[in-house]
Amino acid sequence: MVPNWIIQRASLTPNRIALRFQDKSWTYQELNEQSLLIAKQLVSLGIMRGDRIALYASSTAELIFMIGGCMHLQCEMVMLNLRLSKTELAYQIEDARVSAILAEDSLVDKLPSSDTRIYAFTDIFASEGKGFSPSSEWNESDTMTIMYTSGTTGFPKGVRQTVGNHLSSATSSLYNTGLLKEEAWLCTVPLFHISGFSMFCKCILHGVELVLYTKFDAKKVADQLVEGSVTRMSVVSVTLARIIEELENRGERASERFQTMLAGGGPVPIDYLERAAELGIEIAQTYGMTETASQTTTLSSEDAMRKIGSAGKPLFFNQISIEGVSKPFEEGEILIRGPHVTPGYIGRFKEKSALQEGWLHSGDIGYLDDEGYLFVVDRRADLIISGGENIYPAEIENALISHPAVREAGVCGVEDEKWGQVPYGFVVTKGNIDEEDLLIYCKEHLAGYKVPKRIFIVKDLPRNGANKLLRRELPKLI
């Protein structure tokens, strides 16, 4: 059992700022009050304690209060991704068998038709609350959230994150990075993704101010970094690149109050790490996934410059091993163990165990070096096998992105009669460059079999809601 997070936090530090959104702020006491009110309103609409509820909304203060209300009600929250098509939404709603959907007013029309009750936020706020007393304690094994894994082939799986998963993720993260007396965390990643949701959990647990944005905006982020009004944030490579460019263009640096950017969702190109360092931005590369309630490893700041490209070491309560491997530097599937790992799935995959002998099989390929640092080589599903040689797209992408005229790069495998598969490249440019120049550049930097057969200059790369590159979508750009 663990104390109800919101009540405990409001009781311990009622007057600390919990949330800033647009030009408003709320203390932890106000967050608790708003959340309790929502819980009462949901009860009056027929939602019961412990119900499984879908949430379909962009990141706003209103969504935070809805989440708080659902927490008080100990509902299982299915966090629906805003980028899903109606077909994809219908699949998740059906698979999760939710008893209701809480939706932002303007998004109600985007939901597929189904028998499931839909409550627009306005209707919830307008309803008269019923008597409801939240439990003062939560069970750590209760499911708090369900998120469908994005980016895989076949049917998405609804991953459960329990109260204990989120809690241990927050604790591990605290053991790793520490906590200053006054912190404010900038959240520009969606709350429907594990990166955003777990940041909210950590803020409640640690009594930190959450500075919430509906969308990533490089200019606003740069403003806050320069003025020192935030201490940490989460990025992926593409958002990091935009922040770096913005600061470089302005000729400004991050304030000394700013501590760390946690960079997840795949390896960060070395070029970015170096430029960020010039701007006073410390990057901690992390490795995590929906199944691990966010980070499982992080490269600590003291190792950042010595182990560039590594995802670091496990957080204190986590363990990592490489399957079937006995020596450092040997590649294999990354296995993960710890209290942050999901107990399993719901719906269609309910019977599928997430663990084999206590270890989560990540599906990702990596190795540990001779000091135990994890290097994530690639996502297994993206592995390109060409003429018997293994090619990892990230390596080619790193090469492309090191070209001064390239802003973003993606690489995937394409069927080839001779070699089985060959790599194809896709780049977003920021200068005058054509395919031929890029191919020459690649030949200079890569072994022959790794040079893309074609390189396409495109306007945008396909990305999911967390801005993670969707390599599987790249062939559609041909």
Contacting positions for a copy of itself (CB under 8 A): 2-3, 8-9, 11-13, 136, 171, 174-175, 178-181, 205-207, 300-302, 313-314, 316-317, 319, 372
CB of 5 to a copy of itself, least distance (A): 9
- For residue 312, the 8-state DSSP code is B
Q: 72: which 2 tokens? A: 């008080």
Query: Minimum distance from CB of 302 to a copy of itself (Å)?
Result: 8
Q: Which is nearer to a copy of itself, 155 or 316 (CB)?
A: 316
- Closer Cβ to a copy of itself, 181 or 215, answer by number: 181
Helix axes 163-177 and 194-206, enclosed angle (nearest 10): 70
Count Cβ atoms within 10 A of the Cβ of residue 229 and give its class: 0-12 exposed, 13-18 middle, 19 or more buried: middle
Residues 6+ apart with CB under 8 A from 284: 177, 260, 261, 262, 263, 298, 299, 300, 301, 304, 312
Strands 209-212 vs 17-21: parallel, antiparallel or unpaired? parallel
Q: Which is nearer to a copy of itself, 68 or 452 (CB)?
A: 68
Question: Closest approach of Cβ 250 to a copy of itself, in Å?
Answer: 28
* Cβ proximity to a copy of itself, 33 vs 252, nearer residue: 33
With respect to a copy of itself, which residue has the nearer C-beta, 137 or 274? Answer: 137
Strand 24-27 and strand 117-120: pairing? unpaired
What is the rounded distance in angstroms from the CA atom of residue 239 to the CA atom of residue 246? 11
228 or 372, CB closer to a copy of itself? 372
The residue among 79 and 315 lying less far from a copy of itself, judged by its C-beta, is 315
Of the two residues 175 and 329, which places its CB atom closer to a copy of itself in the complex?
Answer: 175
CA distance 231 to 179: 10
How far apart are the C-alpha atoms of 433 and 452, rounded to whole Å?
16
Instruction: Give CA–CA dist 377/5, Å, rounded.
Output: 37
Task: Identify which of residues 8 and 165 has a Cβ nearer to a copy of itself in the complex.
Answer: 8
CB of 57 to a copy of itself, least distance (A): 28
At 116, the amino acid letter reads T
Q: Which is nearest to 78 in space by CA: 93, 91, 66, 63?
A: 93
Least CB distance to a copy of itself at residue 301 (A): 7
Nearer to a copy of itself, 2 or 308 (CB): 2
Q: What's the closest the beta carbon of residue 206 comes to a copy of itself, in angstroms?
A: 6
> Shortest gap between Cβ of 207 and a copy of itself (angstroms)?
8
Helix (H) or strand (E) holding 43: helix 28-44
Tokens of 198: 């777990």
Nearest partner of 196 among 73, 290, 334, judged by Cα: 290
User: Taking the complex as a whole, how short is the minimal distance between the CB of residue 279 and a copy of itself, in angstroms?
Assistant: 20
- DSSP secondary structure string for all residues of 214-236: SS--HHHHHHHHHHT--SEEEE-
Which residue lies nearer to a copy of itself by CB, 9 or 463? 9
Q: Which residues contact 413 (CB under 8 A, 6 or more apart)?
A: 382, 383, 384, 385, 386, 391, 393, 421, 422, 423, 424
Smallest distance from the beta carbon of 283 to a copy of itself, in angstroms?
16
- Helices 5-12 and 194-206: crossing angle in degrees, nearest 10, is 40
**For residue 342, what are its two tokens?**
């999901």
Measured from the CB atom, is 165 or 188 closer to a copy of itself? Answer: 165
CB of 163 to a copy of itself, least distance (A): 12
Q: In the bound complex, what is the minimum distance in angstroms from residue 74's beta carbon to a copy of itself?
A: 18
* Residue closest to 413 by CA, chosen among 396, 435, 400, 432: 396
Residue 44 CA to residue 23 CA, distance in Å, equals 31
Q: What is the DSSP letter of 133?
A: -
CB of 286 to a copy of itself, least distance (A): 14
Phi, psi angles (nearest 5°) of residue 122: -60, -40
